[in-house]
Structure 1
Amino acid sequence: MTAQNPRRWLITGANSGFGAAFTTAVLAAGEEVVAAVRRPETMAEVVAAHPDRVQVVTLDVRDPAAAERAVKEAGRVDVLVNNAGYGIVGAIEETTEADLRDAMEVMFFGPLRLTQLVLPQMRERRAGAIVQLTSMGGFLSFAGVGAYSAAKGALELASEALAAEVNPLGIQVLIVEPGEFRTGFAKPAALTIGSAIPDYADTVGAVRDGLPASDQQQQGDPGKAAAAVLATVGQANPPLRLALGPDAVGAIRGKLASMAAELNATADLGLNTGFDQA
């Protein structure tokens, strides 16, 4: 795209956190934003500052009809950023089925629904990009974040398959895996926290107490994360995954090393499971 024909970015959750950082970075780059938010009034200042380059559409990603309307109102979408999400904390046993289902609806079904809705126009143009905001928690997990990681991990694996399907059609898929950033993600009011069972205090307690306490103390700068994403979208030979933050890079490296060691340790068992030769 050029200055005369800038890219249009459809960003979910564009009014806060990473979504707001992406919106700021895209506008600073001279491009256009379609801000998909549940409360359009929260974008009033941004619209006033950039009336010719910001369009607001109302969207709760749980709502299929609203998703169809939002994509139709957006018109051309060059880059879809599936950013909307929230934190959910609790042991698996502490997490209600309703909360499990809502996490999957917001962070898996919603993003895939929007992806399916924008793909026809991208296929027609043989161009476009899908940015899936997952988390380092979409690549690895630990006690207390099983539901969150399940939703983000499901999106990661679906997106890995998606990339293999659409890359030959000129469409990029980028999975973004942030660590801790100062986005408001950890605000107590923004978190869904399951009722505590005392037996899990030693394993889940640190996350239950520590995540809310970390709000606005994180070292990650959302603006720098947004700049890294903008630098990656549309580049030649782009990566599939982009880990953001020293904690994410370190944790993912650790998981890969652990998996390799475990695979090596059990390889003989795995390799000797075929039928014996006659």
Structure 2
Amino acid sequence: MTDPKVWIVTGAGRGMGAEITKAALAAGHRVVATGRDPQRVAAVLGESDDLLVVKLDVTQRADAGAAAQAALDRFGRIDVLVNNAANFYAGFFEETSDKQVRAQLETNLFGPMNVTRAVLPIMRAQRGGHVITITSLAGQIGLEFVAAYATSKFGLEGWMESLRFDVAPYGIRTTIVEPGFFRTELLVEDASTIWAELSIDDYAPRTAAAIPGWRTMNGQQAGDPAKLGTALVTIADLDEPPLRWVACADAVEAIEQKARDLLAQIDAHRQLSSSLAHDDAAPNSPRATAA
């Protein structure tokens, strides 16, 4: 294996976060495992000299700063940050209140930003590190009944794609992870899933049909979080980790189709799209020739 690294994993008390932590520990790395309830995190992960459990609500910048400092105090550096903590507001857009949409963004978008702001100065000082952010299939493809969630995940994708240019000169790498449907607790009500709180007659029949469908999906997802954890350790140990990693066959298939659809849509209107420049910017114009 490569030399041991120091990881910070958010949302480590269950699901992907717990399995990523276990995989990193099993590979000989040191992990700062964080969550809003550190007792739950400790109960799930047990004890190890290579494990530090720290309270971290990702919506609180003070928590993020304290967790980063705790990692430094215990292990002396931070090599890998995994932005994993998330929740799921499900419902049609008009039935999802403004308060709920903002709460979704606070956790899923601004939360990872808070933690990354706390960690980047440490990685810059080291001139090295790796920021891994878990987005979603819903960060590439808009789906029915998940407008707020998809908004937060699409936002993460744009942020991470741009962040890599900011930090690459300091030896910091970035990876976007786009999982499909994994058997985690994301769809557990009162734990991670919150339904839209408004009710509109036009949507009522569709909402009544959609919620049972999501409920029955819980525990039936194809993806194995333990296998994802092991695979992510492999990704993090690569000399040149990918900028984007699509996780699980369902996500590969769906995102490949999205790519084909995008290319087809571009090609269908290529002539119109390419006809919008100022006349003096045309390739054969006198100004273009002189340039």
- After TM superposition, the score normalised by the length of structure 1 is 0.93
In structure 1, the residue matched to 2:182 is 181
Q: In structure 2, how many angstroms separate the alpha carbons of the residues matched to 1:64 and 1:238?
A: 28
CA offsets per residue over residues 99-148 of structure 1, 9 Å max, x none? 11111111111101211211111112121110101101011112211110
Does the 8 Å contact 1:144/1:208 carry over to 2? no
> In structure 2, do the counterparts of structure 1 residues 271 and 68 end up closer, same or farther at CA, with 3 Å as the change threshold?
same
| Pick aligned residue for 2:42 from 26, 41, 44 | 44
CA RMSD across the alignment: 1.9
In structure 2, the residue matched to 1:260 is 263
| Structure 2 unmatched ranges of 5 or more | 286-291
Secondary structure of 1:61's counterpart equals coil
- In the TM superposition, 1:45-60 aligns within 5 A as 45=43, 48-50=46-48, 52-60=49-57
1:165: Cα distance to partner?
2.2
Which amino acid counterpart does residue 132 of structure 1 have in structure 2? T
- Does 1:229 pair with 2:232? yes
Q: In structure 1, how many angstroms separate the alpha carbons of the residues matched to 2:96 and 2:81?
A: 31
- Does 1:212 pair with 2:249? no
1:67: Cα distance to partner?
1.4
- Does 1:113 pair with 2:114? yes
Secondary structure of 1:9's counterpart equals strand
In structure 2, the residue matched to 1:32 is 30
In structure 2, the residue matched to 1:158 is 159
> Sequence identity, in percent?
39
CA offsets per residue over residues 47-67 of structure 1, 9 Å max, x none? 6431x1111111111111121
Q: In structure 2, how many angstroms separate the alpha carbons of the residues matched to 1:18 and 1:192?
A: 19
Q: In structure 1, how many angstroms separate the alpha carbons of the residues matched to 2:263 and 2:200?
A: 34
Secondary structure of 2:269's counterpart equals helix
Secondary structure of 1:132's counterpart equals strand
1:154: Cα distance to partner?
0.5
| Structure 1 unmatched ranges of 5 or more | none
Does the 8 Å contact 2:18/2:44 carry over to 1? no
> In structure 2, do the counterparts of structure 1 residues 44 and 276 end up closer, same or farther at CA, with 3 Å as the change threshold?
closer
Q: In structure 1, how many angstroms separate the alpha carbons of the residues matched to 2:258 and 2:207?
A: 20
| Pick aligned residue for 1:18 from 1, 16, 30 | 16
Which amino acid counterpart does residue 33 of structure 1 have in structure 2? V
In structure 2, the residue matched to 1:242 is 245
Q: In structure 2, how many angstroms separate the alpha carbons of the residues matched to 1:171 and 1:90?
A: 37
- After TM superposition, the score normalised by the length of structure 2 is 0.89
Count matched residues: 275
Q: In structure 2, how many angstroms separate the alpha carbons of the residues matched to 1:121 and 1:206?
A: 48
Which amino acid counterpart does residue 31 of structure 1 have in structure 2? H
Secondary structure of 1:185's counterpart equals coil
1:207: Cα distance to partner?
4.2
